């Protein structure tokens, strides 16, 4: 028996690789490292899905607050002129794409610590 096998071509999904990182420190302690380019723009659910699909973690509200503090309040001219700071100011804040992930916790009997 002769078996014919046809060739096939498949696209492999691209691997997301950050172009740069930005480590935010506060009081000489590393708070978070942000990866650029950022995911989005898109809906909250789509952006969160992109983050998880690329095996990244979501920043906390505290980490985002530290980033915004650096972007808007830094006295360091190098940080003020940094392209990543400019990206946050123009593309995330100005265009309204700041999304803070949160977890809504509800328990039927008002459990004080639901394990979060």
In tens, the pLDDT along 15-52 reads 667 788 888 888 888 888 888 888 877 888 888 888 88
Distance CA 72, CA 85 (A): 8
- Whole-structure pTM value: 0.67
Report the pLDDT averaged over residues 71-94.
89
SS3 category, 31: strand
Specify the pLDDT at position 2.
67
**Res. 57 pLDDT band, cuts 50 70 90:** confident
Report the pLDDT averaged over residues 94-110.
67
Cβ atoms 32, 24 nearer than 8 A: yes
* Residue extents of the structural domains in the chain: 20-93
């Amino acid at each position: 028996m002769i078996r014919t096998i046809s060739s096939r071509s498949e696209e492999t999904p691209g691997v997301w690789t950050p172009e740069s990182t930005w480590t935010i420190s506060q009081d000489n302690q590393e708070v978070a490292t942000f990866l650029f380019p950022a995911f989005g723009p898109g809906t909250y659910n789509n952006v969160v899905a992109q983050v998880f699909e690329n095996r990244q973690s979501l920043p906390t509200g505290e980490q985002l607050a530290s980033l915004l503090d650096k972007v808007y309040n830094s006295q360091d001219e190098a940080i003020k002129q940094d392209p990543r700071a400019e990206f946050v100011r123009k593309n995330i804040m100005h265009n309204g794409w700041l999304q803070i992930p949160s977890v809504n916790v509800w328990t039927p009997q008002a459990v004080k610590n639901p394990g979060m």
